[in-house]
Chain A
Amino acid sequence: MERSAIAPMPSLEIKRYTGIMDWLTTVDHKKIGLMYFWFTVTMGIVGGALAGLIRFQLATPGAVIETLQAAHLAGGPEPFSLFSNGGGIFGDQDRFNQMVTMHASVMIFFTIIPGFIAFMNYIVPLMVGARDMAFPKMNAFGFWLLIPSAMLMLSSFFVQGGAAASGWTTYPPLSILGHGTKPGQDMWVMGVHLAGVSSILAAINFIVTIASLKVMKWRDLPLFAWATLFVSIMALIATPVLAAAVTMVLLDRNFNTTFTIASQGGDPILYQHIFWFYSHPAVYIMILPGFGGISHVIAAFSRKRVFGYLGMVLATGSITALGFVVWAHHMFVVGMPTWMQYYFQVASLAIGVPTGIKVFSWLATMWGGTIRMTVSMMFACGFLCLFVLGGFGGLILALTAVDYTLNNTYFVVGHFHMVLVGGSVMLLFSMTYFWWPKMSGHFLSERLGKWVFWLMFIGVFIAFFAMHISGANGMARRIAVYYSDFRFSNYLTTVGYLMTFTSACLFFGDLIYSYRRPKITVDDPWQINDIQQSFEWATSCPPPVYNFAKVPPIPILEQIPSHDHKH
């Protein structure tokens, strides 16, 4: 593009801040997107460190029941461990449960969901040809809500009784215990509320932005924008339900209600149903934006346009719809009627069909292309490999009869880590390597990136495959001590964790160092507009405050349709 084509915006009489005040007061979707991004990176490190404490506990000699008992028999001191009721260096097993709870909460509410929102915020308005989000101030408000939310959750480690320790699922009656004396759980609930409001605001904003500010027709909407739209619809419908569920816990704890207290007419299963009605869609909220993003990555580096555009959109739509009607497969063992369990089994299996369509479509996109193995593309391929593997475990888990054995074991933990880390996190890395040049104006290192990729790919595979083995052999989840039968697979997981965490640290360093690299002077460093013209690559890196001098900036869509309209 010719730089001279970009004319400056007419100057408005608005007081402009600079420096830190600029970031604190900005309503620019790009700056907010970057703030989301750095928030996510920070929280990812916190969540990863919490995971590290869990992994190291499970690698200590004091985590093996037999070793513990041998020490008791010999009358010697308690074997070394991080969390143990007999004196771990970081506290008792309740502390361990706090780590488990907070690891999950930080990773879900502050890393993966806002991680995708970072890209949605930055890229989607560019992609649809808008100058900003539909509600810029609401956008800023949504981001700033996350800060107190995270502070509430993380500071709860330092209050009396410590943080919430009933798992991120917060099942009552366990989460009701300690009311009035242990405020950690209440702080967790309030944190979730704030994160939920943030999520709802973002969802409304994305829906309105896409629907009203897009300059193309629906049939030309890029896949990432489609994914954003579907995810926002999901978040908009599901998040209030989560708010209802955790509010029941809050009320039962503090206001003497009895929603979940069986002895007074409540029912713990009521909570589980309502909670999973949000939390199953939440797993798609945590991966669908990545599905959209990966389509762009694969198309860009295969030098082809994405295969089966219509099928991709419909598949995303059907995952969205089906995501709402399969929640009870998380609770097969609570004793539901047979027909109900069977329905949830079949519906859960059915989700595999649209997911399969997407996987095959990505492969077909690559087929016949000239594939450039950039780090972004490597992460995309790594995602395909690990996601299919994790999805296979999901198909097995969906079978009710089999789930009677595997429910709440490390097999489940391995499965959802394989699809969340092997899936969502790999997608986030892929999208970062892809869009970071656009977002910051600097490249990330391709050479170091190969180390980042291989360490993460192998680490994730080892860590979470070993978890599957632990679970299939009978290791329950959320335990701080285990039978010695599981020692080896737990060591493997810890080794995998170390590799993954090293990779994340390398990436973090590279991210900071990237600002010292020379500025990108072209609009389209990946030469994407040669293949499929798109708005976000038709403005500078990073784009100016007003995104585009003229909207739409390039008359491309009528000339080169983004898909074959006949089909």
Chain B
Amino acid sequence: MPRVMSLSLALILALLCAHGTAADGPSVVLPAPPSATSAAPESASARIDADVKLFNPDVYRLDDQGSPVFPGHSLFVEPVTEVARQVLSATWFSALVFLPFLILPQVLLLVIIFKFKDRGDGRAPATFLTHHKLEVIWTAIPFLAVLIVSIPTYYVLEFMDDPPKETKDLQVVTVTGKQFAWMYEYKRYYVDPNADEKVCLQSSLDPVNQLQEPLLLTKGRSVSFNLTSQDVTHAWWVPAFGVKKSAITGRFTNVWFTPDTLGVFKGQCVELCGDKHGNMIITTVVVERDEFERYMTLLRHRDDTVPVWNALQPPAGKTVPAGAVAKAVAAFLQKGDSPERQYALSYWMASNFSSIQRVPPPKGSSIAEVLGVAHPADDHLARDKQIDEVIRAKRKQVDELLPALAKSLAALPAAAATPILR
């Protein structure tokens, strides 16, 4: 089955590639072939930018006032799953049924205080001690309210606890908590679909900056989580999805939902798990099906791109060594130079350049200093622009190297190329 899937995927990719050369639209899955890159570098770059924004939503910017801007939702969210909607309606329903028991005592209390306050007029207090009927009523009616609320909430609970049947289209994700990150394992998406021992694609901390990577979900596709933990008890929670489950060592807990709205949804760990508990943040991105598949392709090649990224880091106070970069890119392409792989390289470079802005720099330094950008300290916009320019320059370096290297690699016989590159 994976073989069929990868074949069909390849077919779709090929079709979309052809489509992409004809018209530049947001639906383009892969960039135009390398030859087209030099012809229209801006549009390829824009495509990468769009993908980085989509898949890596924690990209960090300042607004005109120099205040931080986080793309995506705040936590004041509308429910975006059927589960969350049912929970919300159950909440309102129960709140309405219970509301009289909140209002009535408060009103009675106020009435009693004003009506029966001792005004020194010598009024004698009443002497009744019981009222049988009244006591039966205020025992029976709350019981009734409990019953009324319990019946519909049972069905909500059953709906939440009853995951959909295991089908081909169900997205299964193994979520593993560890201090202080989440590891997502996308079941049935393999690093190498043809290998005998298939390894699932994983994302956790990004291999370069050690920042939590987002979880990608597909709009309209049910997802089922198997949660567990490596060290202490954690709990996975995104308010907009209306689900929360503990991740416990030695156990698998299950939760399912179907996201039906595109966007970025945030959450965090909600079981005290140590000193950085508050920083154990969750970012989920709900995308279209084709975008999800594209991200899986990108994830497949991610680890191979790390040497190139490392080569692009200049030693302190020096420029990027072009030779080392060329060597790293050549080594990357040596393992495979398909368009999707080349796109993955460009994407991860762009993505990592973006996530550098999320890394707390060493104390006393700034990101601008790390990137070697001189700027007036209070001019955020100019500084941001400069950082952008440096990042674009670095990415351009990679983009320009790609076709040239591909060509030179193709010209060399494989046996001759290998020793040079290693």
Residue of A nearest to B243 (CB): A404
Of A69, A74, A342, A396, which one neighbours B94 at CB under 8 angstroms?
Answer: A396
Of B118, B239, B281, which one neighbours A405 at CB under 8 angstroms?
Answer: B239
A310 to chain B: which residues have CB within 8 Å? 130
Of A97, A171, A474, A531, which one neighbours B75 at CB under 8 angstroms?
Answer: A474
Of A267, A372, A477, A564, which one neighbours B250 at CB under 8 angstroms?
Answer: A267
What's the nearest-Cβ distance from chain A to residue B117, in Å?
5
Of B86, B134, B246, B365, which one neighbours A364 at CB under 8 angstroms?
Answer: B134
- Say whether B116 contacts A369, CB under 8 Å: yes
B64 contacts the other chain (CB 8 A): no
Of A173, A349, A385, A395, which one neighbours B249 at CB under 8 angstroms?
Answer: A173
B138 to chain A: which residues have CB within 8 Å? 356-357, 360
- Say whether B116 contacts A371, CB under 8 Å: yes
From 200 to 253 in chain B, residues with beta carbon under 8 angstroms from any chain A beta carbon are 231-233, 235, 237, 239, 242-246, 248-251, 253
Residue of A nearest to B162 (CB): A338
- Say whether A370 contacts B116, CB under 8 Å: yes
B405 contacts the other chain (CB 8 A): no
- Say whether B251 contacts A385, CB under 8 Å: no
What's the nearest-Cβ distance from chain B to residue A481, in Å?
4
- Say whether A75 contacts B361, CB under 8 Å: yes
A392 contacts the other chain (CB 8 A): yes
Interface string of A477-493 (1 = CB under 8 A from B): 11111110110000000
B278 contacts the other chain (CB 8 A): yes
Of B68, B76, B128, which one neighbours A70 at CB under 8 angstroms?
Answer: B68
Of B74, B75, B129, B366, which one neighbours A73 at CB under 8 angstroms?
Answer: B366
A304 contacts the other chain (CB 8 A): yes
Binds A, one of B99-107, B314-322, B331-339: B99-107
- Say whether A385 contacts B153, CB under 8 Å: no
CA of A394 to CA of B156, assembled, Å: 19
Binds B, one of A12-20, A86-94, A287-295, A548-556: A86-94
- Say whether B244 contacts A399, CB under 8 Å: no
**Given A356-B138, A396-B94, A400-B157, CB of A268 within 8 Å of CB of B129:** no
- Say whether A384 contacts B94, CB under 8 Å: no
A220 contacts the other chain (CB 8 A): no
A269 to chain B: which residues have CB within 8 Å? 248, 251
CA of A263 to CA of B231, assembled, Å: 10
Interface string of A379-406 (1 = CB under 8 A from B): 0010011001100100110011110110
Number of interface residues of A (CB under 8 A): 102
- Say whether A373 contacts B117, CB under 8 Å: yes
Residue of B nearest to A264 (CB): B250
Binds A, one of B40-48, B141-149, B302-310: B141-149
B150 contacts the other chain (CB 8 A): yes
- Say whether A405 contacts B87, CB under 8 Å: yes
- Say whether A338 contacts B105, CB under 8 Å: no
- Say whether A334 contacts B253, CB under 8 Å: yes
Of B156, B162, B272, B369, which one neighbours A174 at CB under 8 angstroms?
Answer: B272
CA of A355 to CA of B118, assembled, Å: 28
What's the nearest-Cβ distance from chain B to residue A278, in Å?
19
CA of A147 to CA of B314, assembled, Å: 61
- Say whether A97 contacts B277, CB under 8 Å: yes
B71 contacts the other chain (CB 8 A): no
- Say whether A564 contacts B278, CB under 8 Å: no
Of the A-B pairs whose beta carbons lie under 8 Å apart in the complex, a sample of 9, sorted by A's number, is A93-B278, A334-B245, A341-B157, A345-B150, A363-B108, A369-B116, A388-B101, A389-B106, A405-B239
Q: A331-B246, A473-B75 are in contact. List 20 more A-B contacts (CB 8 A).
A: A66-B68, A74-B380, A263-B250, A268-B248, A307-B131, A363-B105, A366-B112, A367-B126, A369-B126, A370-B125, A373-B113, A396-B91, A396-B98, A399-B91, A401-B156, A401-B160, A408-B271, A474-B77, A474-B267, A478-B272
